[in-house]
Structure 1
């Protein structure tokens, strides 16, 4: 099984790493888009996620949702991307592909989630990577996990 979950706080670069993995030919799903949640950063649509994981042995999923633990046993690896809060806030204010994180209220929410939620993600992660590393390096490391976790391994 080569199902990999990339998780972490807003601004860690989950979508950027996922895009690099897709460019390299991996099947990827970014749960921040295309109706995987209610659009407000809520829980994953469980029926849809169940179908995805039941029909794809090789997929890299990216996202952070309050119900991701329901699916933990269906992922071979859970990779936590992490970075200091100042890096996260700088990234979310500069990014153009996602409006979340631009307002002071959203930035405070990111601070709070980093303190309260990131430790929970860390406990279920099989690997933590420093999100300040170059995207290609992060993708290389995750790609190695995909290959190592694959039945063809």
Structure 2
């Protein structure tokens, strides 16, 4: 069984999910804000996503970590690596809750988790699948140094594929 890591940055703790993370996670997944992730979702689908984020650690050696503000202990969102039958390549994804946007938290978390993926997990490649209308995520991927890969396989032909540079 794969041990789920806890990663730390200057302002954040990236930690395993806990049951107390479910209500805020669910609220986001039920809302129109989940549109770029395939939502809004039903309670059954949202619960499946929540559990999948944990289950991938055992099955794939990676999954999701919650983004917690070190100073306050507030959960700000999630960063994760997905793969398996839903994603042609290892995918780095992120979201932050309302109120946590525009403060660099998603960037800080995604850069730290990408570093873990390439070094500790040993992945050779990493992409982010982003809907063209998701301007904030597109800008974040670009800020991270990722570049568009028009030839990469994708599950949804509408998605843009941003390829992350290998260190």
TM-score after normalising by structure 1? 0.32
Q: Say which structure is richer in helix.
A: 1
Bigger strand share = 2
- TM-score with structure 2 setting the length: 0.30
Q: Which has the higher contact order (CA 8 A, sep 6+)?
A: 1
